[in-house]
Amino acid sequence: MHRVALSCLLIGLLGGSVSHAQSDFKVTLLGTASPAPRADRFGPSTLVEAGDQKLLFDAGRGVPIRLRQLNVPLGKINVLFITHYHSDHTSGIADVWLTGWLSPPFGRRTAPFRVIGPAGAQALMSNLEKAYALDIKIRLADEKLPPEGIATAVEEFDKNGVVYENNGVKVIAFEVEHGPAIKPAVGYRIEYKGRAVVISGDTRYDQNVVKYGAGADLLVHEVGSARPELLATSVPVQRIIAHHTTPREAGMVFSQAKPKMAVYTHIVLLSTEKFPEPTLDEVIAETRQTYGGPLTVGEDLMSFEIGETVTVQRYKH
Nearer to Zn ion, 223 or 306 (CB): 223
d(CA 69, CA 315): 10
Antiparallel, parallel or unpaired: β 45-50 and 169-175:
unpaired
CB 284 → Zn ion: shortest distance, Å? 21
Q: Is 277 in the site for Zn ion (CB under 5 A)?
A: no
What is the x/- site pattern for Zn ion, positions 36-75, by CB under 5 A?
----------------------------------------
Q: Please select the residue that binds Zn ion; options are 88, 206, 217, 300, rule is CB under 5 A.
A: 88
Minimum CB distance to Zn ion smaller for 43 or for 294: 43
Q: Rounded CA gap, 298 and 272, in Å?
A: 23
Of the candidates 12, 86, 73, 74, the one whose C-alpha atom is nearest the C-alpha of residue 44 is 86
Distance (Å, rounded) from C-alpha 14 to C-alpha 93?
A: 33
Nearer to Zn ion, 61 or 260 (CB): 61
**Of residues 24, 40, 58, 88, which has the active-site annotation?**
88
The residue type found at 64 is: P
Active site residue 158: no
Q: Which is nearer to Zn ion, 202 or 299 (CB)?
A: 202
CB of 247 to Zn ion, least distance (A): 17
Integer CA distances (angstroms), 15 to 104, 275, 297, in order: 42, 30, 11
Residue among 246, 244, 264, 259 at smallest CA distance from 292: 259
Q: How far is the CB of 89 from Zn ion (least distance, A)?
A: 6
User: Looking at 61, 86, 221, 260, which residue binds Zn ion (CB under 5 A)?
Assistant: 86
Q: Interaction with Zn ion in 155-214: which residues (CB under 5 A)? A: 202
Q: C-alpha distances in angstroms, 181 versus 58, 84, 157, 158, 200? A: 20, 12, 19, 17, 18
Give the contacts of 132 (CB within 8 A, at least 6 positions apart). Answer: 94, 98
Binding segment for Zn ion (CB under 5 A), chosen from 65-73, 86-94, 143-151, 300-308, is 86-94
Q: CA-to-CA distance for 177 and 34, rounded, in angstroms? A: 17
Per CB under 5 A, the segment of 21-29, 79-87, 123-131, 156-164 that binds Zn ion is 79-87
**Contact between residue 277 and residue 269 where contact means Cβ atoms under 8 Å apart:** yes
User: Residue 61 or residue 86: which is nearer to Zn ion going by CB?
Assistant: 86
Q: Which stretch binds Zn ion (CB under 5 A): 12-20, 25-33, 64-72, 81-89?
A: 81-89
Burial class (CB in 10 A: 0-12, 13-18, 19+), 28: buried
| Distance of alpha carbon 59 from alpha carbon 86, whole angstroms | 11
CB 96 → Zn ion: shortest distance, Å?
Answer: 17
Q: Which stretch binds Zn ion (CB under 5 A): 23-31, 83-91, 274-282, 294-302?
A: 83-91
Stretch that binds Zn ion, among 78-86, 139-147, 165-173, 282-290 (CB under 5 A): 78-86
Name, in order, each residue with C-beta under 8 angstroms of 65's C-beta and a sequence gap of 6 or more: 42
Among residues 41 and 86, whose Cβ is nearest to Zn ion? Answer: 86
Residues lying near Zn ion in the complex (CB under 5 A):
86, 88, 202
The residues assigned a catalytic role are 88
